[in-house]
Structure 1
Amino acid sequence: MTRSLGYFTDVALRRQEGSLVQVLPDSTVVRSPANPTFWWGNFLLMPAPPAPGDLPVWEAAFRREHPQAAHRVFGVDVPGTALSGPVADEWRAAGYDVRADTVLTAARTQAPCRLNRDAQLRVLQGPDWDRALALREAVNAADPHGHEPDGYRVFARRKLAAYRAAQAAGHGAVLGAFDDHGQMLSGLGIFDAGDGVARYQSVETHPDARSRGLAGTLVHHAGEWAREHLGTRTLVIVADPDYHAQRLYQSVGFTPTEVQIALERRPQE
């Protein structure tokens, strides 16, 4: 049983997407055989923050559970504060991004001040899934820290296939904002995690369509959709505290609730 709300929803959604979740005495292992390059579909969840000197032990455990993986990703299953001091220094020195993301919650959302009334909002169907892939590729290409295009396309296609299967099974939906020509300008997923909790996924806006109020409008619309179609009582979304998205989420009714600790090392060249 996870204790972090962020990881409770992460693990629940991975299960819906077909990932394998194995609870061991010292950790929880998440595996996504259908998408091996999905870092947060193939990770270890620690029961507590690592102590000084724990890094070699955890890396050995990761190699044992994910022997083919080029990445290294660990979650910490306690809500808390960011790792600091010698522990954080040790992991950073080994090439890890030591993150402390904000988990925000809301009982319901409110319309943003900049409500977009021009875009068409809908649950993805049929050819919309190809448009969603094009959106994700455009966002990745515009990101200075984005991933290699060919490998990212494979990952994104597999990830959307998992979302599509979860949507078909009634667990939630991917919603998009479209222009009059059918181009997908913004998109996100929202899925039921159980216990009346729904989690947002992958809020993205096309680089050429930003500053139009699309993301805030879609986040609000998806929250109302989840309340109606999933019976959601608590909406959960996760944001980088140093990125503008957290302010956007707070503007539509979300409140910071806890900190989600993550340790992530990209595949080494």
Structure 2
Amino acid sequence: MTPISNLGFQSEFVISQLEADILVKPEYTVLKTASNPSYYFGNLLALSVPISTHSKEEWLKIFTHEFKDMPKVEHLTFSWVRNNENELAIIESFTSAGFEFEEMHILALNKSAFKEPIKLNQTPVYRALTSQEDWEQWIQLSIADQQGDYSEEGLKTYLTRKAKNYNQLEKAQLGNYLGAFVNNQLIGYAGLYHKDALGRFQNVHVIPEYQNQKIASTLLTLLIQNAPSSLQSLVIVADEHYHATALYQSLGFSIVERECSLCWWPESHRKTAV
């Protein structure tokens, strides 16, 4: 496990543990995922000091220096845990330069405190994603679910590499991806992966036509029921405005951190690119 206290970052390393390298510096930790250079949150600086410690220009120089050996990393990503400092001015200096700012809820739960729903939705068939067709469906639904300004071609490349990593994690018995199927069509999915006693959920999603039917809570319940006994702490990362945060809290999860990020990517990665 990484030595920094940022739980969101620690759980991100759970997903990247087979392919990522970590370098700890006094003011930040460098996460590098050479096998997926367009993985914005797999190639980043996780700050252990307030972002106001340096100016935007200084942080950009630091990032460029740390990733000079990875020319295929064309983006810039910084993450940190929000504190009580006034960060508005430094954040605005980034967003005015084209960075996207996000604040995520880091929700955590001790597995023994999980509040299993009274009723599960047993209508779909719940099974692991195994075939190429399963993963192709997952890629298409993941692309459709994306809200950001990302090109479809770039997303498909990124997601194909992510699927390969998920399969490698499953082969190493470090977790799995569970899908909900109706007439062999994937309509919902979620993953749970672990390192030591820490587990991280990944991409909990149900397509709009099947939302609010307890499918997401059923996916989470089945994953937890089949998790190894050594797993103690469970983490979910969700956008602060994401409606499912209330669902997670109803299952016993609580918000333990607010993780901020700033990310910039070039025009060639955007859906508006010609």
TM-score, with length taken from structure 1: 0.87
SS for the counterpart of 1:51 is: helix
CA offset digits 1:67-108 (Å, max 9, x no partner) = 4222110122x4646863312222222222222211111223
Single out whichever of 168-177 and 6-15 deviates more from structure 2. Answer: 6-15
Q: Report the AA paired with residue 23 of structure 1.
A: V
Aligned to 1:73: 77
Establish whether residue 117 from structure 1 lines up as the match of residue 122 from structure 2.
yes
SS for the counterpart of 2:116 is: coil
8 A contact 1:103–1:260 mirrored in 2:
yes
Q: 1:103, 1:33 → 2: CA distance? A: 26
Call closer, same or farther: CA 1:81–1:254 in 2, change over 3 Å: farther
Establish whether residue 189 from structure 1 lines up as the match of residue 191 from structure 2.
yes
Aligned to 1:87: 90
Give the Å deviation of 1:139.
3.7
Aligned to 1:249: 248
Q: Report the AA paired with residue 76 of structure 2.
A: R
Q: 1:241, 1:170 → 2: CA distance? A: 31
Q: 1:233, 1:221 → 2: CA distance? A: 16
8 A contact 2:103–2:258 mirrored in 1:
yes
Q: 1:86, 1:137 → 2: CA distance? A: 38
Q: 2:101, 2:152 → 1: CA distance? A: 25
Aligned to 1:98: 101
Give the Å deviation of 1:264.
1.6
Single out whichever of 84-93 and 141-150 deviates more from structure 2. Answer: 141-150
Q: 1:38, 1:98 → 2: CA distance? A: 17
Call closer, same or farther: CA 1:88–1:169 in 2, change over 3 Å: same
Call closer, same or farther: CA 1:142–1:14 in 2, change over 3 Å: closer
Give the Å deviation of 1:153.
1.2
Q: 1:54, 1:115 → 2: CA distance? A: 50
Single out whichever of 98-107 and 164-173 deviates more from structure 2. Answer: 98-107
Q: Report the AA paired with residue 267 of structure 1.
A: P
Unaligned runs of 5+ in 1: none
Aligned to 1:4: 6
Call closer, same or farther: CA 1:98–1:139 in 2, change over 3 Å: same
Establish whether residue 221 from structure 1 lines up as the match of residue 222 from structure 2.
yes
Give the Å deviation of 1:110.
2.7
Name the count of aligned residue pairs.
261
8 A contact 1:83–1:98 mirrored in 2:
no
Which of these residues, 147, 160, 164, is aligned with residue 163 of structure 2?
160
What is the RMSD of the two structures over their aligned residues, measured on CA atoms? 2.3
Aligned to 1:54: 55
Single out whichever of 62-71 and 233-242 deviates more from structure 2. Answer: 62-71
CA offset digits 1:213-267 (Å, max 9, x no partner) = 21121112212222xx252111111111111021121122211112112222233
Unaligned runs of 5+ in 2: 269-274
Q: 2:7, 2:28 → 1: CA distance? A: 17
SS for the counterpart of 1:40 is: coil
